[in-house]
Amino acid sequence: MSRHIAVLLGGPGPEREVSLASGRACADALRRKGWQVSEIDAGHDLAAVLDALNPDIIFNALHGVWGEDGRVQGILDTFGKPYTHSGVAASALAMDKHRAKAVLEMVGIQCPKSVLVSRFEAAKKHILPPPYVAKPNAQGSSVGVVIVREGAKRPPIILGDEKWPYGEEILIEEYIPGRELTVAVLGDRALTVTEINPNTAFYDYEAKYATGGSEHIIPADIPIRIEKLVLKQALAAHQALDCRGLTRSDFRYDEKNNVLRLLEINTQPGMTATSLAPEQADHVGIVFDDLVQWMAENTHAPYDTAGKIEG
């Protein structure tokens, strides 16, 4: 008899539409692999829905706040069945860009210089001299990111708008010119390096998920020493934050000044038709259905009520 797997998708966050696409693609792949699949549009009644369905395994295809920041992982730990991707601590830490950078720098990975401030302070004056990047401290997929260009007279006033939906903490980060690189890590293996050439002003939400939003060059045409360094740092970041399963680390490479900086690590990268991690897996010989199968079979063991890891 096939094993029963619940695929969590959608959710209440700003990345809902992308999560729906990721989750449906993964659910279809699992069905092709012979799993009994239930799709769950994961709302705040998730615990009750899981109790009613009682699946053997949970595949977490949520993105961004709530689904990727440790809160859903806490529900899954309480439910007590294995689940994909990282656990509570790693998920929460990776989503908190400021604290994640502190951990990464402790293990020798250089990140852009940054300052964490309230959004109101960031809207009043330049915290760093332009150019710089202003981004919500705890969002994914470049949601709410603003680039303040050189010569800008004032900071982005949108940060002080009463309707701003992306949290009160803003990370003001030095702007690193150059090339956008990314590496997917699968378990203990860094797959390859992709260069991203966005067709928008920068690699924003639209460039990541809209058809034709960006061009992916795989493998990236970069010096061998930089390729080895990016692969090494992506794996080191995955391990330093105690991540599990599939992650993706994003970098900026300033070739002119020989500067490489890790921007952030994504604990639940997109699994859509335009997503980078599945594309990298395919490049190294792991087709999409096999990738999803691997993720379902390499799950995070939940904690029992005594605080011990099961399984």
Q: Which residues are catalytic?
A: 15, 141, 209, 248, 250, 264, 266, 270
Distance of alpha carbon 242 from alpha carbon 246, whole angstroms:
12
Residue pair 104/237 in contact (Cβ under 8 Å)? The answer is yes
